[in-house]
């Protein structure tokens, strides 16, 4: 799940609570003699109670709990399809299916969202087929297509927006905000497990001269070339980000001081342009600002001594 934990939980709580409220209205004023009033009251209690529980636990809910709650909502919709008294009532559940599909598409990875939507469609279709009233095939097909199509569009759009929000548009590496968020998670993991974690700050030497002498187009091309070369040499778990105009940062999980320097030596061979680097390994109790401050101090100590990468 790509969004921060509280937001999807709060919205899912709202979906549960609103659905429960609608079940209360349907149970209080049934529109058909065979309306499953008892089931509606049960679903109302589950919806409202579940919404309150999810809302109260919003900041602490794990990803698996969010996924489970979405699947449970699909199961409840399928049960309501199965027990509905009229075909109109079954088709009328389309907005609930669309809402769940859009939720999954927005907050989950696209591949996982597709699995959720497929399961939702299978469950709801099974409930509709098992129901006593015959559901018009065309009406149900339109419902299924609408759920799948809207979820796919939303999922692709959400993925594009997440990528744009987390990526430096010039170099394609992580931007400062995205890098800091992931680096903070890596630091918390290292603190919990005790594994080494190192950070490096890379500062391009005399980059302004390139812009002044050859123009900003040449400077942009140089940044792209440097980051492309670094990315090829870094490991899959390493995280490269752009921190400023000509300053970059690297997070190196499961890597101590010596290992970090060996990796940086490999980066040096990717391009002839000179850059300076400062390295720091996280200590117990470090914040991200603290370890980066040590890396920055190491960087400027090297600059004063005339040493580059």
Residue tagged active-site, from 168, 203, 238, 246:
246
- What kind and span of H or E run contains 217? helix 216-233
Query: How crowded is the C-beta side of 194, counted as CA atoms within 13 Å?
Result: 0
Q: Are 124 and 93 in contact (CB under 8 A)?
A: yes
- Is residue 86 helix, strand or coil? coil
Q: Is 296 a known active-site residue? A: no
How far, rounded to the nearest angstrom, does the alpha carbon of residue 267 sit from its chain's CA centroid? 29
d(CA 171, CA 241): 9
Query: Which tokens go with 176?
Result: 């400062």
Q: How many other C-beta atoms are found inside a 10 Å radius of the C-beta of residue 85? A: 17
Q: How far apart are CA 33 and CA 186, in angstroms?
A: 58
Q: Which two tokens stand for residue 132?
A: 């006593």
The answer for residues whose C-beta is within 8 angstroms of residue 60's C-beta and 6 or more apart is: 5
Q: What is residue 270's DSSP assignment? A: T
Q: Packing angle between helix 207-214 and helix 216-233, nearest 10 degrees?
A: 140
Residues marked as catalytic: 246
């Amino acid at each position: 799940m790509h969004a921060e934990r509280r937001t999807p939980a709060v919205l899912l709580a709202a979906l549960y609570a609103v659905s429960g409220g609608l079940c209360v209205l349907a149970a209080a004023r049934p529109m058909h003699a065979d309306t499953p009033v008892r089931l509606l009251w049960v679903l109302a209690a589950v919806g409202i109670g579940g919404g309150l529980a999810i809302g109260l636990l919003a900041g602490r809910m794990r990803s698996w709990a969010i996924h489970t709650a979405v699947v449970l909502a699909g199961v409840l919709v399928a049960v309501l399809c199965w027990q509905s008294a009229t075909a109109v009532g079954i088709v009328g559940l389309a907005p609930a299916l669309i809402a769940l599909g859009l939720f999954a598409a927005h907050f989950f990875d696209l591949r996982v969202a597709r699995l959720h939507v497929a399961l939702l469609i299978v469950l709801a279709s099974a409930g509709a087929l098992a129901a006593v009233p015959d559901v018009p095939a065309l009406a149900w097909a339109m419902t299924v297509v609408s759920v799948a199509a809207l979820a796919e569009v939303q999922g692709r759009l959400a993925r594009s927006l997440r990528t744009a929000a987390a990526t430096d548009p010039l170099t394609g590496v992580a931007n400062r905000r995205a890098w800091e968020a992931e680096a903070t998670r890596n630091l918390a993991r290292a603190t919990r497990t005790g594994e080494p974690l190192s950070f490096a700050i890379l500062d391009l030497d005399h980059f302004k001269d390139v812009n002044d002498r050859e123009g900003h187009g040449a400077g942009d091309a140089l940044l792209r070339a440097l980051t492309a070369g670094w990315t090829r040499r870094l490991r899959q778990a390493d995280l490269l980000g752009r921190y400023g105009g000509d300053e970059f940062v690297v997070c190196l999980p499961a890597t101590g001081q010596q290992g970090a320097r060996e990796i940086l030596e490999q980066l040096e061979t990717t391009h002839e342009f000179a850059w300076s680097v400062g390295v720091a390994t996280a200590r117990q109790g470090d914040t991200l600002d603290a370890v980066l401050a040590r890396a920055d101090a190491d960087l400027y100590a090297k600059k004063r001594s005339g040493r580059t990468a």
